[in-house]
Chain A
């Protein structure tokens, strides 16, 4: 089955700096790569996603890049703010007969220091 590895497990940055989280996946059939942010006491929430026919996607301070050949994708957060502190999960999804299973990375705890 699919295997998703996420690095680093923890990341601490100063406010205003950039943060980068990287994920690799194993199954070349995967074609949808979302990133979720989980704040304390809440469920994960989608912040950005990318499909396999696109190499990069941006949404304000957040961007995701995808390298299908190398089977890795990355989340980039620029001008970090304290409210960016959370756990971030990457995931990979591939076509499934009925529901489309997502395989998640182990998560990255991002701390943005004021």
Chain B
């Protein structure tokens, strides 16, 4: 059974803290994505990666960075968390090619106080 695993389902952090959200996939997919989900705003792309050490900004990259040191792992980093980054974060992966199914993790709900 294919799987995308997000390490933390729920996190509570304080303003200014550094936050790491980890995502691991077991499908040997080249492409990995981080989305942010807010009510009424759908899924907005933060960053994506198409290969190890390769990354590109999505639609809302401000305040975020990413790391992809290994093919199976894609990390989202909030250098200095702010309250407006309180949200649900979804990781997804897709095999090589520009179209096809996205496989999502179950999400990480981050609350920044």
B positions within 8 Å CB-CB of A: 4, 30-31, 33, 35, 40-45, 48-51, 54, 56, 58-59, 90, 92, 94, 97-102, 104-107
Is B102's CB under 8 angstroms from A102's CB?
Answer: yes
> Which bucket holds chain A's interface residue count?
20 to 34
CA distance A92 to B28 in the complex (A): 24
A positions within 8 Å CB-CB of B: 1, 4, 6, 9, 31-32, 34, 36, 41-46, 49, 51, 89, 93-96, 98-107
Q: Is the interface of A mostly helix, strand, loop or mixed?
A: loop
What B residues does A94 contact at CB under 8 A?
A: 98
Given A98-B51, A98-B54, A101-B48, A46 and B90 touching (CB < 8 A)?
Answer: no
Is B42's CB under 8 angstroms from A31's CB?
Answer: no
CA distance A100 to B38 in the complex (A): 22
